[in-house]
């Protein structure tokens, strides 16, 4: 089974992995109310059990800054989704707080046939994709081990605040790694999982997207 | 049940013994008889009366005395019957050289399952099937097809590849490295890596465990077992280049290839992962004869500047530190070297390599609190005698020095006498500085594991 951020929200929160705040809105009116409650800027995502790749069908719109923009976005999104997948059942939209920019990291998990669940850590973007600068540990992972794996990557000086940058909140990353480790111990059926990106600030961190594959 | 009957048997039956030179049953028997094993060796073959002047029995059940271990090299079709007879006889351990089991496919897997049923029914322990055997150099037991018994030493070697493993044992003999247990694991149907680690952990003659690994079955138990062993464990794991899973769902899935996971697991287990076979035995040698250093600060002495620069470059690349010596150490060292030579770390004696120069400088460096470990290099020239500086180090070493020393005598045949002295004195010697530094790093790594990982 393939699960995405919205379906993973509750379980990740249960293990102390912070996600950006979101509110489900079944109508345009509710969407405007939700955006005002969360404060602008916000993100709008289509909510449908039949759509897994939201971007491909125009089901994600970023950086919305006013009631007016919400209204335009809502109508455009419904239009685009219906054109692309006419048969899709639509529950409404999800209004999500737009995360402030920060240091983007990735925390993921995989079920290894020999060793069971392993957790990966790395910096987001080119650091993981081009340089493959990541570290791994077999679960369960305690705080000390999580700390080691964060400092093990070659670009760890960026996390610690290279070139006058404010250091990122390493404890917040440790909490995500150890929380994920606890979650994996409880859920042996997880095959693969990405929390990507996890945006880390000088205080705190927030997961923006997650996806998971289970048995 | 203990693995002692396999590795330290009092008596051995060799089932499938053969009088035909070149056949495995002949090679195995010859190896058992000709290497000083003290206990009785009973050849078993229904068609022979004696083989190699040794009384032969039609079946293991006909042997009058007790049999601790049976080495089985019969054709595949007889393997199950023979194993059953071993069970009835009260044999405690089997080394099943016979192949054709799970490594061949479904039919073989079925046969292996039946073999294990028999094995478990009689509470036996079994190496293999599809193993090339077991060696215990200290009791002169060569229950394998290795052509020569290795020199006894403190390194035990677990190999998943039979042929490669055996070739390596031959190579360690060339290098003068001593071994204790050598075990070719074969299919690991009963005894696997976890069992072997646990056995070697409590085996008093094993100082260092070296492994050639292709795959581990009980991953988590393996990590736990290794964490509980304070002896150094080294592993070379083949298949480094294999990439992550092909069907990519996530970034993590595409990045977490088996090799990355093994690296992580070894780190968590406190196992030193090395890149190749040369490093495996180079490091095992250093770990088997030298203590763990307290830190990673390296002092270097050489009679030639070039070699010491190569060594310090290699140290820095591998995360080792070349610290400054204390002032008084430098002043004392100046007394022994020409004015133009360098008394800074790395120390270059400007060609001098007499007994007194090496002995005095090394003593001073060992006393310096800035230094955790020493590399002593000697580059051979016709004006020097390679034996003298070697003797100078060995004499210090005998004075119960707790900081490890690695040596590097460079220069081929002319250094032979010196190298022999170093080896007898328990100093690990390497022909080039890079290999010496890799070995040194393994000492530092092991110390790190002792502090952080080992429970």
pLDDT higher than 60, residue B246? no
Residue B219: CB atoms within 10 A of its CB come to 22
pLDDT at B181: 97
Residue B321: CB atoms within 10 A of its CB come to 13
DSSP B404: -
pLDDT at B398: 59
More confidently predicted of A184 and B402: A184
Cβ-Cβ contacts under 8 Å for A205 (sequence gap 6 or more): A18, A102, A168, A169, A172, A173, A175, A176, A198, A199
Sign of CA dihedral A109, A112, A118, A122: negative
Phi-psi region of A125 (alpha: psi -120 to 50; beta: other; left: phi over 0): left
pLDDT at B402: 84
Distances (CA, A) of B404 to A16, A121, B309, B390, B397: 47, 36, 20, 15, 9
Distances (CA, A) of A97 to A18, B72, B138: 13, 70, 70
pLDDT at B176: 81
Residue ranges of E strands in B310-394:
347-348, 373-379
Residue A91: CB atoms within 10 A of its CB come to 12
b/e per residue B25-45 (b: at least 16 CB within 10 A):
bbbbbbbbbebebebbbbbbb
Q: Is A112 on the interface with B (CB under 8 A)?
A: yes
**Could A115 and B265 be called an inter-chain contact, meaning their C-beta atoms sit closer than 8 Å?**
yes
pLDDT at B421: 95
- Cα angle, residue A48 at apex, residues A46 and A50 outer, rounded to 5°: 130
Phi-psi region of A124 (alpha: psi -120 to 50; beta: other; left: phi over 0): beta
- pTM, two decimals, is 0.91
- CA A195 to chain B, closest CA, distance in angstroms equals 9
User: Closest to B256 (Cβ–Cβ): which among A120, A145, A211?
Assistant: A120
What distance in Å separates the CA atoms of residue A75 and residue A70, rounded to the nearest whole number?
9
What domains, with CATH codes, occur in chain A?
21-97 (3.30.1490.20), 103-214 (3.30.470.20)
- Cα angle, residue B319 at apex, residues B317 and B324 outer, rounded to 5°: 95
**Could B251 and A138 be called an inter-chain contact, meaning their C-beta atoms sit closer than 8 Å?**
no
Write down the architecture of domain B298-452 according to CATH: 3-Layer(aba) Sandwich (3.40)
- Cα angle, residue B388 at apex, residues B382 and B390 outer, rounded to 5°: 110
**What's the gap between Cα A45 and its chain centre?**
13
Q: Which residues of A touch B265 (CB under 8 A)?
A: 114-115, 138
pLDDT at B240: 63
- CA B181 to chain A, closest CA, distance in angstroms equals 26
pLDDT higher than 70, residue B248? no
What distance in Å separates the CA atoms of residue B92 and residue B124, rounded to the nearest whole number?
5
Output Rg (C-alpha) for chain A, integer angstroms.
18
Chain B interface disruption, residue of A105, A116, A120, most B CBs within 10 A: A120
- CA A157 to chain B, closest CA, distance in angstroms equals 16
Per 3-state DSSP, what percentage of chain A is helix, strand, and coil (rounded to 5)?
A: 35, 30, 30
Question: Of all residues in chain B, what percent carry a pLDDT higher than 70?
Answer: 97
List, for residues B101-145, the tens digit of each pLDDT value: 999 999 999 999 999 999 999 999 999 999 999 999 999 999 999
Interhelix angle B277-289/B433-452, rounded to 10 degrees, is 60
φ, ψ of residue B200 in degrees (nearest 5): -70, -25
Contact B394, B355 (CB under 8 A): no
Distances (CA, A) of B74 to A76, B11, B29, B43: 77, 19, 13, 12
**Could A118 and B264 be called an inter-chain contact, meaning their C-beta atoms sit closer than 8 Å?**
yes
Q: Which residues of A touch B268 (CB under 8 A)?
A: 137-138, 145
Cβ-Cβ contacts under 8 Å for A173 (sequence gap 6 or more): A105, A107, A121, A146, A150, A159, A198, A200, A205
b/e per residue A49-87 (b: at least 16 CB within 10 A):
eebeebeebbbbbeebeeeebbeebbeebbeebeeebee
pLDDT at B413: 86
The nearest alpha carbon in chain A to B267 belongs to A137
Contact A132, A104 (CB under 8 A): no
Q: Is A142 on the interface with B (CB under 8 A)?
A: no
Decide: helix, strand or coil at residue B10: coil
pLDDT at A209: 87
Decide: helix, strand or coil at residue A137: strand
Q: For all residues of chain B together, what is the average pLDDT? A: 93
pLDDT higher than 60, residue B276? yes
Which of B205, B191, B198 shows the shortest CA–CA distance to B155? B205
pLDDT at A14: 94
The predicted model gives B241-266 an average pLDDT of: 77
pLDDT higher than 60, residue B245? no
Flag residues of chain A having pLDDT under 70: none
**Could B258 and A112 be called an inter-chain contact, meaning their C-beta atoms sit closer than 8 Å?**
yes
Domain B4-132 identical in fold to domain B152-289: yes
Structure tokens at B326: 């204390």
Q: Which CATH superfamily is domain B152-289 in?
A: Succinyl-CoA synthetase domains (3.40.50.261)
In order, the DSSP letters of B113-172 are HHHHHHHHHTT-EEE-SS--EEEEGGGTEEEES-SSPPPEEEEEEEES-HHHHHHHHHHH
Output Rg (C-alpha) for chain B, integer angstroms.
25
Q: Which residues of B touch A134 (CB under 8 A)?
A: 255, 260
Contact B38, B139 (CB under 8 A): yes
User: Closest to B265 (Cβ–Cβ): which among A138, A191, A213?
Assistant: A138
Weakest-pLDDT range from B322-326, B335-339, B416-420: B335-339
Question: Facing residues of B297 across strands?
Answer: B321
Going by pLDDT thresholds of 50, 70 and 90, the confidence category of residue B162 is confident
Q: Which A residues in the span 167-186 are in contact with B, Cβ-Cβ below 8 Å?
A: none
Which of A181, A115, A170 shows the shortest CA–CA distance to A147? A170
What distance in Å separates the CA atoms of residue A16 and residue A18, rounded to the nearest whole number?
6
Q: Which CATH superfamily is domain B4-132 in?
A: NAD(P)-binding Rossmann-like Domain (3.40.50.720)
pLDDT at B56: 97
Cβ-Cβ contacts under 8 Å for A36 (sequence gap 6 or more): A67
**What is the number of CB-based contacts under 8 A between chain A and chain B?**
83
pLDDT at B243: 52
- Cα angle, residue B115 at apex, residues B224 and B21 outer, rounded to 5°: 105
Decide: helix, strand or coil at residue A159: helix
Domain boundaries, chain B: 4-132, 152-289, 298-452
The predicted model gives B175-180 an average pLDDT of: 89
* A140 upstream amide cis, omega within 30 of 0: yes
**What's the gap between Cα B56 and its chain centre?**
35
């Amino acid at each position: 089974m393939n699960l995405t951020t919205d379906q993973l929200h509750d379980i990740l929160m249960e293990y102390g992995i912070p996600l950006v705040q979101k509110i489900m809105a079944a109508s345009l009116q509710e969407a405007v109310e939700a955006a005002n409650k969360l404060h602008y800027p916000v993100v709008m995502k289509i909510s449908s059990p039949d759509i897994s790749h939201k971007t491909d069908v125009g089901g994600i719109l970023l950086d919305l800054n006013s009631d007016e923009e919400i209204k335009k976005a809502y109508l455009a999104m419904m239009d685009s989704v219906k054109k692309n997948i006419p048969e899709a059942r639509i529950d409404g939209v999800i209004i999500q707080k737009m995360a402030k920019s920060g240091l983007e990291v990735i925390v993921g998990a995989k079920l290894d046939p020999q060793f069971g669940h392993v957790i990966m850590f790395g910096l987001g973007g080119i650091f993981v994709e081009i340089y493959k600068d990541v570290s791994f540990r077999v679960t369960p992972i305690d705080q000390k081990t999580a700390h080691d794996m964060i400092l093990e990557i070659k670009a760890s000086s960026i996390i610690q605040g290279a070139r006058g940058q404010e250091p990122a909140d390493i404890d917040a990353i440790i909490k995500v790694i150890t929380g994920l480790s606890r979650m994996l111990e409880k859920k042996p059926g997880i095959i693969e999982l990405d929390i990507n990106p996890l945006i880390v600030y000088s205080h705190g961190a927030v997961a923006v997207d997650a996806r998971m594959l289970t048995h | 049940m203990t693995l002692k009957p396999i590795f330290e048997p009092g008596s051995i039956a060799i089932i499938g013994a053969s009088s035909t030179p070149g056949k495995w049953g002949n090679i195995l028997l010859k190896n058992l008889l000709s290497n000083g094993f003290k206990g009785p060796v009973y050849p078993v073959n229904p068609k022979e009366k004696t083989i190699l002047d040794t009384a032969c029995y039609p079946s293991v059940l006909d042997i009058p005395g007790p049999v601790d271990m049976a080495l089985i090299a019969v054709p595949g079709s007889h393997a199950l019957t023979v194993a059953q007879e071993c069970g009835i006889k009260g044999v405690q351990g089997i080394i099943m050289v016979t192949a054709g089991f799970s490594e061949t496919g479904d039919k073989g897997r079925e046969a292996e399952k039946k073999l294990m049923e028999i094995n478990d029914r009689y509470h036996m322990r079994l190496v293999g099937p599809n193993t090339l055997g077991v060696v215990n150099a200290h009791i002169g037991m060569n229950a394998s097809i290795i052509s020569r018994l290795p020199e006894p030493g403190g390194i035990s070697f677990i190999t998943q590849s039979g042929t490669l493993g055996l070739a390596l044992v031959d190579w360690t003999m060339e290098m003068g490295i001593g071994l204790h247990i050598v075990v070719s694991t074969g299919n690991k149907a009963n005894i696997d890596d976890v069992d072997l680690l646990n056995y070697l952990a409590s085996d008093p003659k094993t100082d260092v465990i070296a492994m050639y690994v292709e795959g581990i079955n009980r991953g988590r138990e393996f990590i736990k077992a290794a964490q509980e062993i304070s002896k150094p464990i080294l592993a070379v794991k083949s298949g480094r280049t294999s990439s992550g899973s092909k069907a990519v769902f996530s970034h993590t899935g595409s990045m977490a290839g088996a090799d990355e996971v093994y690296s992580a697991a070894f780190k968590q287990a406190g196992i030193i992962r090395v890149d190749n076979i040369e490093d495996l035995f180079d490091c095992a040698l250093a770990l088997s004869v030298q203590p763990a250093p307290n830190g990673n600060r390296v002092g270097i002495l050489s009679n030639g500047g070039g070699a010491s620069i190569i060594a310090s470059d290699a140290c820095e690349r591998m995360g080792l530190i070349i610290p400054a010596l204390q002032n008084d150490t430098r002043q004392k060292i100046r007394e022994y070297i020409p004015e133009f030579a360098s008394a800074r770390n790395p120390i270059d004696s400007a060609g001098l390599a007499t007994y007194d120069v090496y002995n005095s400088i090394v003593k001073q460096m060992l006393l310096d609190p800035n230094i955790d470990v020493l590399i002593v290099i000697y580059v051979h020239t016709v004006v020097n005698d390679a034996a003298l500086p070697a003797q100078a180090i060995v004499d210090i070493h005998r004075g119960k020095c707790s900081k490890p020393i690695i040596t590097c005598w460079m220069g081929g045949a002319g250094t032979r006498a010196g190298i022999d002295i170093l080896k007898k004195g328990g100093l690990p010697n390497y022909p080039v500085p890079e290999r010496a530094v890799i070995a040194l790093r393994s000492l530092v790594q092991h110390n790190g594991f002792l502090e952080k990982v080992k429970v």
